Amino acid sequence: MNIDWPTIRNCDADARHGATIELSGWMIPLDPQADSVDYFLLSADEPCCGGCVPRNPLTSIEVHAAMPIAPQADALTLRGRLVHLVDDPAGWRYRLVDAKPLDLVETPSPRTFSRRAFLTSGAALGLTACAPGRFGGYTEAHDGAAAPTWQPPAGTLTIDMHSHGGRVIVSRNPAIGAHRPFIPLAAPMRAGGMNVICLAIVTDTTVTRVADNRKRFEAWRDPQPGELYALGQTEFQRARELIERQQMQLVTNTASLTASGPLGPCAIISAEGADFLEGQVDRVDEAYTQHRLRHLQLTHYRVNELGDIQTEPPVHGGLTDTGVQVIRRCNALGIVVDVAHGTYDLVKRAADTSTKPLVLSHSALATHPGARSRLITADHARAIAATGGVIGVWPSSGTFKDLHAMAEGVKRVADVVGVEHVGLGTDMLGFISPPVFRSYEQLPDLASALLLAGFSPEEVGAILGGNYRRVFQASVG
Ligand SMILES: [Zn+2]
Ligand SMILES: [Zn+2]
């Protein structure tokens, strides 16, 4: 359905909330030097110069594109799902999600554009975004029948074990780097009812790149001495700024988790890759004290000083002695140890070393993971569960075609290790291709899919937060 700017201006577009619409306007990227962007503004008016950013929410809307788009000098028409924003901290009234330029819209494919995919990610989103922070209304199941709505049991906290929400990571484009604009985080968390996220900085970004025709990341050069430590400082600073600007609460222990969790969007400072330590174990203490680090993932896309990674041939035979010392420091200080991206050999030694439960924050089960695969075997999952830990299931579109497939993936992990050892790790804004869970506004849909997969409301509460809460309590105190 085509809509025009007067419909936006007089707020009649509120009634189109959740609908797929087409709208023409000028594309205004916030990263002016980016070659392509998947977040930008669409404006009713041609921009007067390259540097000005429109502010009027009735003449510009936010756009989350389905794929990166090169900035266009001419007006373009976008097709996407319109979301009416309520209490958006940046002041925007409308957002177009899954937007595609009209002349690039391809023949519908089962993965991205089927009615099923649209219903599961779209229809319920419309209603829940109007009722911030609550699970309510109805959801449509993928067969078109009414699906169950999850009512969180009393005291439930929803927790995402792994997120780069708000675009906390610096840009790989050195011209933008740490000046990359944030995007809203608290508002979608509120809209979807997500209470807490483990907000993960990344400290190997400057030495990794996308490889194999945009299929995976790899390290492509050795860092300079001090480079990744400095990058860590920058990223921790960005995390702090993001939390402040979004007026989120910082969770540093079980008491603050219990007190702040139910009140509003919260963050636990987390790092994906301990590369910023540069092998110096005492920097764990510094990060704990100065940056409030409470969740540390040992390795990422670079074989670092701590151990081997799934996506590169092993060098160390698993966890190194430095890795062992880092785990001991985390156990002593009160930092959750996350072994995502690590090899099975790394996980086995980590499990032998750690006196606290381990987390593997974002992956999924595969019977025979291929070389360089980020998926894990049943034994790999069992090694985590044996510590009392949690495996976060991720929403990779390479693994799952929609939220229902993801819910079935959660079930497969639960069948192997028990429901008390499964969680959610969205890796928000960390995927190369858009994942099946790309906004916290989809949380009620995921909860509904988990109910349909056969979990009880209490089990859904454990998966969507309770299990991680147990590990956090045991590790951080
Ligand atoms: Zn990752
Ligand atoms: Zn990540």
- What is the whole-number distance in angstroms between the Cα of residue 223 and the centre of ligand 1? 19
Same domain (yes/no): 353, 439: yes
Q: Which helix (H) or strand (E) holds 323?
A: helix 321-333
Of 67, 84, 105, at which residue does a domain stop?
Answer: 105
Domain presence at residue 52: yes
Q: What is the distance between the terminal CA atoms of the chain, rounded to a whole angstrom?
A: 53
Task: Give me ligand 2 centre to Cα 154, in Å.
Answer: 30
User: How far, in Å, from the CA of 271 to the mean position of ligand 2?
Assistant: 9
Domain boundary at 73, 105, 137, which? Answer: 105
DSSP-assigned letter for residue 263: T
Cα of 406 vs centre of ligand 2, distance in Å, is 18
- Report the CATH number at residue 181: 3.20.20.140
What is the CATH classification number for the domain harbouring 14?
Answer: 2.40.50.870
362 CA → ligand 1 middle, Å: 7
Q: How many residues does the chain have?
A: 477
Domain that holds residue 225: 159-476
Same domain, 83 and 188: no
Pair (283, 345) in one structural domain = yes
Q: Is residue 153 part of a domain?
A: no
Q: How confident is the model at residue 127, as a pLDDT?
A: 30
The pLDDT of residue 116 is 36
CA separation for the pair 434, 92 (Å, rounded): 23
Distance 427 CA to ligand 1 centre (A): 7
Cα 318 from chain centroid (whole Å): 27
Residues 98 and 183 in one domain: no
Centroid of ligand 1 to alpha carbon of 114 (angstroms): 28
Same domain, 428 and 281: yes
Ligand 2 center to residue 223 CA distance, Å?
Answer: 20
Q: Does residue 292 belong to any structural domain of this protein?
A: yes
| DSSP β-ladder status, 60-69 and 37-43 | antiparallel
Task: Give the number of the ligand closest to the Cα of residue 162.
Answer: 2
- Same domain? 189 vs 300: yes
Same domain? For 261 and 171 the reply is yes
CA of 456 to the centre of ligand 2 (A): 29
Q: Which ligand is nearest to the CA of 360?
A: 1
How far does residue 162's CA lie from ligand 1's centre (Å)?
8
Q: Name the closest ligand to CA 270.
A: 2
Q: For residue 293, how far is its CA from the centre of ligand 1 (angstroms)?
A: 17
> Can you give the pLDDT of all 477 residues of the chain as single tens digits?
888 888 898 888 988 999 999 998 888 887 666 778 888 889 887 766 545 667 788 889 999 999 888 877 777 889 999 999 887 777 788 999 999 988 653 333 333 333 333 333 333 333 333 333 335 444 555 555 678 999 999 999 999 999 999 999 999 888 888 999 999 999 999 999 999 999 999 999 999 998 877 678 899 999 999 999 999 999 999 999 999 999 999 999 999 999 999 988 999 999 999 999 999 999 999 999 999 999 999 999 999 999 999 999 999 999 999 999 999 999 999 999 999 999 999 999 999 999 999 999 999 999 888 889 999 999 999 999 999 999 999 999 999 999 999 999 999 999 999 999 999 999 999 998 889 999 999 999 999 999 999 999 999 999 999 999 999 999 999
- In 3D space, the residue among 63, 57, 56 whose CA is nearest the CA of residue 22 turns out to be 63
Q: Residue 394 Cα, ligand 2 centroid: separation in angstroms?
A: 10
340 C-alpha vs ligand 1 centroid, how far in Å? 7
Q: How far is the CA of 272 from the centre of ligand 2 (A)?
A: 6
Give yes or no for a contact between 307 and 298, defined as CB atoms under 8 angstroms apart. yes
Q: How far is the CA of 429 from the centre of ligand 2 (A)?
A: 8
Q: Are 455 and 420 in contact (CB under 8 A)?
A: no
Ligand lying nearest the CA atom of residue 169: 2
Cα–Cα distance for residue pair 81/95, rounded to 1 Å:
8
Q: If you measure from the C-alpha of residue 337 to the centroid of ligand 2, how many angstroms do you get, rounded to a whole number?
A: 15
Tell me how many domains the chain contains.
2
Q: Which of 59, 86, 105 is a domain's end point?
A: 105
Both 168 and 70 in a single domain? Answer: no
CA 116-463-236 angle, 5° bins: 100
Residue 340, domain member (yes or no):
yes
Is 404 found in the same domain as 267?
Answer: yes
Is the domain of 242 the same as that of 307?
Answer: yes
**Smallest-distance ligand from the CA of 374:** 1
**Tokens, residue 178:** 């740490």
Residue 135 lies in a domain: no
What pTM was estimated for this model as a whole? 0.74
In a shared domain, residues 65 and 163: no
Which ligand does the CA of 271 lie closest to? 2
Asked if residue 471 belongs to a domain, the reply is yes
Domain assignment present for residue 64? The answer is yes
Q: How far is CA 63 from the centre of its chain?
A: 18
Asked if residue 31 belongs to a domain, the reply is yes
* Longest CA–CA separation in the chain, Å: 64
For residues 87 and 218, membership in a common domain is answered with no
Of the candidates 417, 411, 338, 413, the residue with the CA atom closest to the CA atom of residue 382: 417
Q: How far apart are CA 206 and CA 75, in angstroms?
A: 34
Q: What is the secondary structure of 95-130 as a DSSP string? A: EEEEEEEGGGPPSP-HHHH-HHHHIIIIIHHHHHTT
Distance 302 CA to ligand 1 centre (A): 11
- Counting ligands in written order, the one closest to the CA of 430 is 2
